[in-house]
Structure 1
């Protein structure tokens, strides 16, 4: 044994090297090793790229998709990316960990506040008490607004009373040198900035004041008629509900909803709690952008100097009978595949920071803060011209990414003359999804008709279309039967079917552009058809915002839709028939094949409307339809479903939510008779 040991220990290094050189590696084994390493590298690189894409989806949807991340599909993508991100990253890390049958190392590289609504509510109560102490009724005009609060109430000394927090003193009624910024002070800034710059910002401050009042509604305070302020209610009507002011009305309310959206679904209100927080945020964003630019520059310089570098260098050798063969090196992968995810993430971070900077500079919150700053400095004579110019430019900044409501409304139709034949139709039915929708921009004709109808409802009387019918005398009386349903959804679908029949009869109006005259047939048809399809969209997509039970409304739409598809199976969709013949053919098919009562009633009503068109003025009938749908959308808008409207605001906003807020500020918070029903129900429960 000893001799054997001495023989082995006496072997020279040269002899061992000679023996090692004589050992040969199996070619198939070496090929298999190289193939497995190549596959593993591609798998790691693919997972790295997937992790970068998932991170991009998470950050992109979270930052840029505020309107869309509450939709079903976008929410599914966002949650899926969030769920898969950590497992993918963990898999990438684990693939390089643990013991292996070969030596492996990475190539070294030189770079590897809730009390404000209660404050505000008490302030409105104080204002109401001051108004009632005056003799006679106050006259409020556009140039003399009431002192609605914009900013500064959080700095005042308050005390708690039975109806909420109120100011300890009444100095706000006699002097404005108390830190409060009110709408009447904003209206007196005409000498500070050009009118073209200041007028939109006045409306924005008014939206901000209304937003604070709307927060009281969401906080479940009993707020009616602008918290009891007669001046605020009178100012709202005199300022907004004038001729040719429909765009201004919609802009003020949409800005108000954008403030509400930011308050509940973004961090902007937190940043604007202190004046220096936005400045700090911009500084941090600029610092992050500078770091990203520096890293990208260094990576580009490294690529230019180093050229191609592998991701992994392996020393390969074979072992045979405890002897090791000579080693040789193998390179796998390219470090460009490591750099691609890094570049993507750095670019994504830069885009996110740029968006944050834009949100600070172009945000409506910034503009309101600047206007309030001007109000505080209005009495000072030391404001430089350069400072005013800088503020004016900031106030004119706009960013489409920051826009909350896209001014579009959903459209659905029960009577599809050319039904879709794609695979999505049976899939939607199998999964019990709502009817397919499309969105169109809200036409000016729709806004005009709604505003005209709202002006005639200042007394708070909202009808489901019966008012405009009764005003037409005998012609309207013939159609009242279609409004006698106790179900709002059933009435909507009946009139929607009838409106769709009229569309088939008068298709020639589709080729005309929207007329400049508000009394043209084209404008009335646009208003009637867009509102008809939007109400049908509400029945199937947003039934919770309607008066009826949402599940019942959705099932009613599906039943009528299926019956309409069955009844119209033989409808001629070609262009050989004239519009009159096509309309008559449609009515005959519905009358003969319809089984659902709503479909039968819709066909009957459509036939009556076609007869009215033949008997009288075409414009008058389309005007009647536009008035009916304007009354209907205003009738269904008031509601106490705060949760439903809050979810709609999170999705980007709905026209019915905008009208709900508009009616609230106009002093209309419920449908006729609804308060009595609620009171009777509450009394019965007690």
Structure 2
């Protein structure tokens, strides 16, 4: 009876007016807290790939999209008619459309933009009904309420435009079509003596395709016609004519002409501008458009002699690709862009100044605070007033924070309209560029997770997951497959970057599947059989098993050939186990091959508890004399033969050369969606290589290692039209 009475009393108090007030206060504050978490963790999720962190971000984002509308519904349905509670509703409305660091959780959510827009519009109408039926005549509150409500409409319109621009059925398709048509004829607009180091002759679009996208295509090819329209801009002491459609070569010339820029400021701006242009070229792959420049000598030279210059600046080239993918991530998953960045500054001045002044005069900060008919005091403190003040502080502070989070977009905005820069005084401009340099450099270091996933088949094939959480969550959490236990991630080093990219440059842009590495080490005749397996997944797993056997008993140093081979081998095995869609062939087929090899290993190595004993068991295994060897048996044969390569330094060099060569061979892919999806989960090294090869005009791998270096898309290896 005691429990029943307690339950009844709790239900009555919970349903009372005071109970509903407490519930609303808690939900309002919790909604503001969730907003803070979304803003903070939304910008961090591309730096972390841990499963628990991704689940946490998903849970926070889901709560964020549900909690606000639910709380607004409680306010509208309950006895909360005072201006104070209506103000809470308008603040919640602004919160719902103010999260810039994460606009959607998944790339598939972008196409649901119309449903999101309808939900926001319904909430705006619901809050308007609350405003029209509220009690109270405090002019300060009335003005604040209307300011927030109008502000929410403006933000909703802005968010709708951002999602539409990222949608394949909206701006992404329209703008990418313009770029695709332009790049079909871009090589015809330049002289033969192009220079990829200075970008002379490379008229890649930097800005202006939006103005052309609304034009109808013209015959006979029915492509959008590019006309170079010029306009005059008044600058500091002279008149400067710029093209309406700005290209990267002209942007670089303008940067070099600025005498007030330091050398470091010039280089950073040039890299940011180049990354932004490449980002626009890469968007075409998300739409499935033809890459008109693929297969041209000029395109291949852009990477070989431009990004990968004669000085061997491979790390700088990788950073350019990193920043390009950061632009792509912002475009798909956030509301950071040149338009929204500029708007946030105006919104900050409009909202902060107006709301703060009004409330200091006679609002919640004042002793003339409009008291609600529903009062609640705890230790003499007016909880309702405290909640109002906390909400106002949070919304005003977070309205300002996003404007300082992406300085690379500030640089892009500056380069799109040079008059914004040249009209400033020299001292102010120099101070601003130093601020941009330092912040851009810091952001560049933390743009991505920069870690390679690692997986060892012989170490983890016996892993048996419980999968209790997927069962309890009714499938919300994905189940873990048998043997799928990732190892500790290895941070991407400059040595790894240089090893992979230097091989690409040394081969003059030709992708090799491993035969070249064997030939350079004079072991082609001995190991060529391991390069002619049925599928690329066969080859990855066979060489991974062989590499593990060859390295067993030898400690892996932090640098050198041994470390390069071990890291790349385990990374490719990680892709087979966890990201099979990023590899050649069908992702499901790759996954089933992996599952079968895990079962084979459990059958053959059931009594071996350590990696050392498992390797020895494989080395001493009797192999079939016919051609019926399975992957595990082929891996054991390869490992046995690799152990015969002495001295050890020669063995490590062979394996490092093979994996550095083979991972580039695996990178070309037509599945752009998996690369875009993984951008929101820490990013993958393979995605960076895929983007780099795209800009070299390499869209597919050659059928044999004797294929021409740049002719992987079916286009002739010259500068003739595709």
Does residue 178 (structure 1) correspond to residue 243 (structure 2)? The answer is yes
C-alpha deviation, 1:67, in angstroms: 5.9
Asked if the contact 1:446/1:526 (under 8 Å) is kept, the reply is: no
The one-character-per-residue Cα deviations of 1:118-142 (angstroms, maximum 9, x if unpaired) are 44444444542233xx5xx415152
Match for residue 636 of structure 2? 603
CA distance in 2, matches of 1:411, 1:422: 18
Residue from 588, 593, 606 that aligns with 1:556: 593
Match for residue 316 of structure 2? 248
- Write the mapping of 1:291-330 to structure 2, written as runs, cut at 5 A: none
User: What are structure 2's unaligned runs of at least 5 residues?
Assistant: 81-135, 142-164, 166-170, 232-239, 715-722
Match for residue 267 of structure 1? 335
C-alpha deviation, 1:450, in angstroms: 0.9
C-alpha deviation, 1:251, in angstroms: 0.9
Label 1:448 to 1:652 Cα distance change in 2 as closer, same or farther (>3 A).
same
Match for residue 496 of structure 2? 446
C-alpha deviation, 1:216, in angstroms: 3.2
- Write the mapping of 1:131-280 to structure 2, written as runs, cut at 5 A: 131=190, 134=191, 137-140=192-195, 142-143=197-198, 145-148=200-203, 149-152=205-208, 154=210, 160-161=218-219, 162=221, 164-168=223-227, 177-188=242-253, 189-190=255-256, 191-225=259-293, 231=298, 233-242=300-309, 243-269=311-337, 271=339, 277=343, 279-280=345-346
Q: Which moved more, 1:535-544 or 1:62-71?
A: 62-71
Match for residue 30 of structure 2? 53
Match for residue 12 of structure 1? none
CA distance in 2, matches of 1:76, 1:52: 18
Residue from 446, 465, 481 that aligns with 2:514: 465
CA distance in 1, matches of 2:261, 2:630: 62
Asked if the contact 1:146/1:232 (under 8 Å) is kept, the reply is: no
Match for residue 4 of structure 1? none
Q: SS at the partner of 1:486?
A: coil
Q: SS at the partner of 1:478?
A: helix
Label 1:479 to 1:280 Cα distance change in 2 as closer, same or farther (>3 A).
same
CA distance in 2, matches of 1:504, 1:415: 11
User: What are structure 1's unaligned runs of at least 5 residues?
Assistant: 1-28, 98-107, 314-330, 515-522, 574-581, 680-686
CA distance in 2, matches of 1:312, 1:593: 84
Asked if the contact 2:25/2:387 (under 8 Å) is kept, the reply is: yes
Q: SS at the partner of 1:536?
A: helix
Residue from 275, 283, 296 that aligns with 2:349: 283
Match for residue 434 of structure 2? 393
The one-character-per-residue Cα deviations of 1:225-267 (angstroms, maximum 9, x if unpaired) are 3696x54543332121134412111111111112222223333
Q: TM-score, normalised by structure 1?
A: 0.70
Q: TM-score, normalised by structure 2?
A: 0.67
CA distance in 2, matches of 1:447, 1:296: 61
Asked if the contact 2:546/2:638 (under 8 Å) is kept, the reply is: yes
Asked if the contact 2:32/2:394 (under 8 Å) is kept, the reply is: no
Match for residue 147 of structure 2? none
Asked if the contact 2:467/2:479 (under 8 Å) is kept, the reply is: no
Asked if the contact 1:67/1:650 (under 8 Å) is kept, the reply is: no
Residue from 524, 537, 547 that aligns with 1:489: 537
The one-character-per-residue Cα deviations of 1:74-109 (angstroms, maximum 9, x if unpaired) are 335533564466557757987879xxxxxxxxxx9x
C-alpha deviation, 1:656, in angstroms: 1.3
Match for residue 356 of structure 1? 402
Q: SS at the partner of 2:439?
A: coil
Asked if the contact 2:303/2:696 (under 8 Å) is kept, the reply is: yes
Label 1:535 to 1:43 Cα distance change in 2 as closer, same or farther (>3 A).
farther
C-alpha deviation, 1:392, in angstroms: 1.2
Does residue 533 (structure 1) correspond to residue 583 (structure 2)? The answer is no
Asked if the contact 1:142/1:239 (under 8 Å) is kept, the reply is: yes
The one-character-per-residue Cα deviations of 1:247-299 (angstroms, maximum 9, x if unpaired) are 11111111111222222333334716xx9635424434644895899699956
How many residues are paired up? Answer: 583
The one-character-per-residue Cα deviations of 1:137-176 (angstroms, maximum 9, x if unpaired) are 415152353243322455679773525223335989xx96
Asked if the contact 2:251/2:415 (under 8 Å) is kept, the reply is: yes
Match for residue 151 of structure 2? none
Q: Which moved more, 1:214-223 or 1:486-495?
A: 214-223
C-alpha deviation, 1:413, in angstroms: 2.2
Q: SS at the partner of 1:409?
A: strand
Asked if the contact 1:496/1:602 (under 8 Å) is kept, the reply is: yes
C-alpha deviation, 1:455, in angstroms: 1.1
Label 1:177 to 1:83 Cα distance change in 2 as closer, same or farther (>3 A).
closer
CA distance in 2, matches of 1:31, 1:421: 43
Asked if the contact 1:282/1:357 (under 8 Å) is kept, the reply is: no
Label 1:495 to 1:377 Cα distance change in 2 as closer, same or farther (>3 A).
same
CA distance in 1, matches of 2:373, 2:606: 65
Match for residue 106 of structure 2? none
Q: SS at the partner of 1:210?
A: helix
Does residue 367 (structure 1) correspond to residue 422 (structure 2)? The answer is no
Label 1:296 to 1:128 Cα distance change in 2 as closer, same or farther (>3 A).
farther
C-alpha deviation, 1:339, in angstroms: 7.0
Residue from 454, 469, 475 that aligns with 1:411: 454
Label 1:154 to 1:502 Cα distance change in 2 as closer, same or farther (>3 A).
same
Match for residue 588 of structure 1? 617
C-alpha deviation, 1:492, in angstroms: 1.0
Q: Which moved more, 1:625-634 or 1:187-196?
A: 187-196
C-alpha deviation, 1:202, in angstroms: 0.6
Does residue 433 (structure 1) correspond to residue 480 (structure 2)? The answer is yes
C-alpha deviation, 1:457, in angstroms: 3.9
CA distance in 2, matches of 1:93, 1:83: 16
Larger Rg: 1
Label 1:332 to 1:570 Cα distance change in 2 as closer, same or farther (>3 A).
same
Match for residue 62 of structure 2? 79
Label 1:295 to 1:86 Cα distance change in 2 as closer, same or farther (>3 A).
farther
Match for residue 500 of structure 1? 548
Q: Which moved more, 1:429-438 or 1:626-635?
A: 429-438
Asked if the contact 1:546/1:637 (under 8 Å) is kept, the reply is: yes
Match for residue 581 of structure 2? 544
Label 1:49 to 1:38 Cα distance change in 2 as closer, same or farther (>3 A).
closer
CA distance in 2, matches of 1:264, 1:453: 32
Q: SS at the partner of 2:456?
A: coil
Label 1:552 to 1:591 Cα distance change in 2 as closer, same or farther (>3 A).
farther
CA distance in 2, matches of 1:296, 1:455: 69
The one-character-per-residue Cα deviations of 1:613-665 (angstroms, maximum 9, x if unpaired) are xxx23222112112211222211211111222222234343211111110011
